[in-house]
Structure 1
Amino acid sequence: MAQARDGWQGAGSGGADQRTLRRANLALVMHGLRDGGPRSRARLAADLGLNKATVSSLVGELMERGLVREGKAERGAVGRPGTIVELDGTGAYGVGAEINVNHVTTLAVDLAGEVVSEHRSSVDTRGLRPEQVVDRLVELLHGTLADVAERGSEPVAVVTGVAGLVDRDRGTVSVAPNLGWQDVPVAAMLRERLDEPDYLVEVANEANLAAVAEATPGDPDRRDILVVHGEVGIGGGIIADGRPYQGRLGFAGEFGHMVVDRDGRRCGCGRTGCWETVIGLTRLLEEAADPTDDLRGPELELEERVAEINRRAAAGDERTLAALHEVGRWVGIGAAALTNALNPGVIVLSGYLGEIGEWIEADVEAEVASGVLAPGSGGTRIALSTIGLSAAVRGGAAVAIDHVYEDPTLVPRAGVPELGATS
């Protein structure tokens, strides 16, 4: 863990430098408590390389901001036991949102990552203008924000995932083939409809957010992973050495548009044979059911379709099982190519792919074993998401709440004016 210094060295340091150092040290304490668990002030000071007076001051400010609280006396301490300091789970809230082909979703979590609000609405986003889709999302956001307001707070950030290429700096969806969007300023549209809120409003690729949700903090097996997130389209996310990797301009992880079958079907992006044309939910439904089958009708929601596929597979329906095996084979072909290129520790099948995982996992593993050059598949293993279809929106909420750990001053102090305090 990086250590902070008690004072600022160098002549001519102004108030801005002092405040920057203060924020950095506040963040250091927050990270220390999240990653290392509750501890006394003395233990925190020793672990973080700060003196006790500084830590006491920092903890005092974090308590004023409602981000930490005192717990029980420290066990096993020599001499007079110190009081444990721990994160206050109810001290801050983050909101995730998602725009996908068939639905919009919102979800709020507290500082401890506990879900405090969740709303979902089925929407045929391809049949609406971007403005109409954003309006539908804002309707859900108002409900989620009201749930947070009932707890006496507002979020530190709202992070919205969209199924497409996202320019995060501009808050713009550059290209979303399955939505039919191009250069849509989603962040600006949300800010306007939310009356220019004080909290942060950001937009990201939904599969990248799903990857954040799957990267369990502190789990060494999840420090180098790829997430293949599937619904109608297929996206991906990369976690390298415990951190999201988004590429030079933020467009990394578009696994669904790897060309795997040059003689295959035309993709929504305009090319032929993209991976999502053979493993996306649309392809599975086409292979598993006739056009008149209720499974392909507009009445069923995503969860209902997936549940029905699983039900038919469990009942031994041959057509369903054959369709699942074919999808699994193609998932494995793409996963093998990704393994040869990136050699992750784990490839996590997320979204609908995780929900049907029990039927396709063996096929995926067989293709990876035969298609990867390195012995033993290079140590890469296949895992199924345990988060389900909410991975992307949970990732958005996680990114939103992470802003508090990077800058605790985003949460105001109760009844205390913000002044430039020293470290």
Structure 2
Amino acid sequence: MRDADAPFVRVTTGTDQAALRRAHLGLVLRSLRDEGGRSRAQLAADLGLTRAVASGLVGELEARGLVCPGARQRGAVGRPGTTVELDAGLVCGLGAEVNVDHVSALAVDLGGDVVAERRVGLATRRLTPDEVLDELAAILRDTLAELTVGQGRHVAGVTVGVAGLVDAAHEVVTLAPNLGWRDLPVAQGLRDRLTSAPAPLSVDNEANLAASAEIDPADPDRSDMLVVFGEVGVGGGVVADGRLRRGRHGFAGEFGHMIVDPQGRPCACGRVGCWETVVGLRALLEAATDPDDPVRDPALTLEDRLAGLAERARRGDTRTLAALHEIGSWLGTGAAVLVNALDPGVVVLGGYFAALGQWLRPAVEEQLAAGVLASRLGETAVVVSTLGPTAAVRGAALASLEHVFLDPTAVPRRAETLNGAAR
């Protein structure tokens, strides 16, 4: 037994020291992402590190191609220093998406800029899961080749977004009603099809990924946020204290299957009157167009359909405007239930709701004012996403990059990469 009066000495193992260093590297990298470039001295002061430690961490991040020297500081006392900034040239995250009418891939660099993008229109409901995964693997293969061979980048990982319930821990799509999928091991299916799949390769719910793409650490108004994402189905995400909340089993955000009209139409999930049956794309098309309307042509992309409806709304077409008001009212009715339960500061309209947001938002705001108990005490703003239909796949790409921000040592040093290439 240790003598109670003897001083306690903590023994630090090599494993502890390595973990601590990884944590400090991630801390510096996230700080540069969230708060911008700074000098080594300022980083040390901001993060509570000594200058020597901060300088050593920056040096290692630079060796891994994650940071680089920036501009000379101006207005500083004494000799001007050089700022440290994220280096967007080497590392990227790759996202992919499976939806009812397309599969896509998109890559972003450390600064969040898009560096590669592919999208293929695909009637996924009419194909077998294997056929869909074949198509997705093909565009991932092409995108990976463009990034690694064409651009010389290191791909940090791949995250696949799917419209449905996703057991992310086991990499399985549990239920995707609009795709007709059940208990499908998507991640393993892609690994089997990709001879050199980057690790990690994971799968997640597309609406949660779209919601995560809306998070902005620099905007305090978005620290508590409700994101509603509409395409053929409707989903979303809850952001609290700047973090996406997934719930006990990881299935939070399935807003589209709230019952809002018990006497309404059947939903693809097997129930009646779900929210997505009155605000999903099908509901809009049926309210705004006839069955033989060109906008319903299955050969059109979602963007083309929405552009056609937006043009009619701009021209003042009575039926289109009435349909948008009806959808907006139902959208506001469901949002009011969620706002009463969650009290967010902001409701973000994403997906197809964003493309038609200028016509949907007034009706949403009307219903929130009428249906939210505390609307006079604390207003919840309704904003239109600027990310458009790529929000989910962009969120997937950012999720792949998050592995680097948590553990920068996942990226090999440049010398290691060059030596490996030479071999």
Q: Provide Cα deviations, 1:165-198, integer angstroms capped at 9, x if missing partner.
A: 0111111100100001100001111122122534
Letter matched to residue 74 of structure 1: Q
Instruction: Work out whether residues 275 and 334 of structure 2, in 8 Å CA contact, stay in contact via their aligned partners in 1.
Output: yes
Q: Provide Cα deviations, 1:186-228, integer angstroms capped at 9, x if missing partner.
A: 1111122122534210111000011111122210111111111
Q: Which runs of 4+ in 1 moved over 6 A?
A: none
In the TM superposition, residue 47 of structure 1 has moved relative to its aligned partner by 1.6
Match of 1:3 in 2: none
2 CA distance for matches of 1:322 and 1:354?
Answer: 18
Match of 2:134 in 1: 135
2 CA distance for matches of 1:198 and 1:270?
Answer: 37
Q: How does 1:21-420 map to 2 (within 5 A)?
A: 21-149=20-148, 150-195=150-195, 197-376=197-376, 378-416=378-416
Instruction: Work out whether residues 368 and 375 of structure 2, in 8 Å CA contact, stay in contact via their aligned partners in 1.
Output: no
1 CA distance for matches of 2:21 and 2:30?
Answer: 14
In the TM superposition, residue 50 of structure 1 has moved relative to its aligned partner by 1.3
In the TM superposition, residue 416 of structure 1 has moved relative to its aligned partner by 4.4
CA 333–196 in structure 1, closer or farther in 2 if over 3 Å, else same: same
Q: Could you say what secondary structure the match of 1:43 adopts?
A: helix
Letter matched to residue 211 of structure 2: A
Q: Provide Cα deviations, 1:36-66, integer angstroms capped at 9, x if missing partner.
A: 2212212211221111221121111111100
In the TM superposition, residue 272 of structure 1 has moved relative to its aligned partner by 0.4
Letter matched to residue 14 of structure 1: T
Match of 1:6 in 2: none
Match of 1:12 in 2: 11
Instruction: Work out whether residues 90 and 112 of structure 1, in 8 Å CA contact, stay in contact via their aligned partners in 2.
Output: no
Q: Provide Cα deviations, 1:270-308, integer angstroms capped at 9, x if missing partner.
A: 000000000000111111111122222212111111111
CA 316–57 in structure 1, closer or farther in 2 if over 3 Å, else same: same
- Which stretch of structure 1 is more off in the superposition, 173-182 or 308-317? 308-317
Q: How many residue pairs end up in the alignment?
A: 409
Instruction: Work out whether residues 38 and 86 of structure 1, in 8 Å CA contact, stay in contact via their aligned partners in 2.
Output: yes
- Which stretch of structure 1 is more off in the superposition, 290-299 or 168-177? 290-299
1 CA distance for matches of 2:303 and 2:375?
Answer: 38
Q: Provide Cα deviations, 1:299-340, integer angstroms capped at 9, x if missing partner.
A: 211111111111112222222222111111100100111111
CA 314–10 in structure 1, closer or farther in 2 if over 3 Å, else same: farther
Q: Provide Cα deviations, 1:379-406, integer angstroms capped at 9, x if missing partner.
A: 2121111111111011111111122111
2 CA distance for matches of 1:246 and 1:224?
Answer: 14
1 CA distance for matches of 2:193 and 2:385?
Answer: 34
Q: Provide Cα deviations, 1:337-375, integer angstroms capped at 9, x if missing partner.
A: 111111111111100011111111111111111111113
2 CA distance for matches of 1:103 and 1:408?
Answer: 33
Instruction: Work out whether residues 235 and 256 of structure 1, in 8 Å CA contact, stay in contact via their aligned partners in 2.
Output: yes
1 CA distance for matches of 2:217 and 2:46?
Answer: 19
Instruction: Work out whether residues 71 and 85 of structure 1, in 8 Å CA contact, stay in contact via their aligned partners in 2.
Output: yes
Q: Provide Cα deviations, 1:75-95, integer angstroms capped at 9, x if missing partner.
A: 233223322211111131001
- Given the two structures, how large is their TM-score scaled by the length of structure 2? 0.94
In the TM superposition, residue 26 of structure 1 has moved relative to its aligned partner by 0.5
Q: Could you say what secondary structure the match of 2:248 adopts?
A: coil
1 CA distance for matches of 2:366 and 2:71?
Answer: 52
- Which stretch of structure 1 is more off in the superposition, 188-197 or 405-414? 188-197
Letter matched to residue 22 of structure 1: R
Q: Could you say what secondary structure the match of 1:147 adopts?
A: helix
Instruction: Work out whether residues 368 and 377 of structure 1, in 8 Å CA contact, stay in contact via their aligned partners in 2.
Output: no
Q: Could you say what secondary structure the match of 1:252 adopts?
A: coil
- Which stretch of structure 1 is more off in the superposition, 119-128 or 196-205? 196-205
What is the percent sequence identity of the aligned residues? 56
2 CA distance for matches of 1:201 and 1:375?
Answer: 43
- Which stretch of structure 1 is more off in the superposition, 351-360 or 69-78? 69-78
CA 303–10 in structure 1, closer or farther in 2 if over 3 Å, else same: farther
- Which stretch of structure 1 is more off in the superposition, 339-348 or 69-78? 69-78
2 CA distance for matches of 1:101 and 1:33?
Answer: 38
In the TM superposition, residue 377 of structure 1 has moved relative to its aligned partner by 7.0
- Given the two structures, how large is their TM-score scaled by the length of structure 1? 0.94
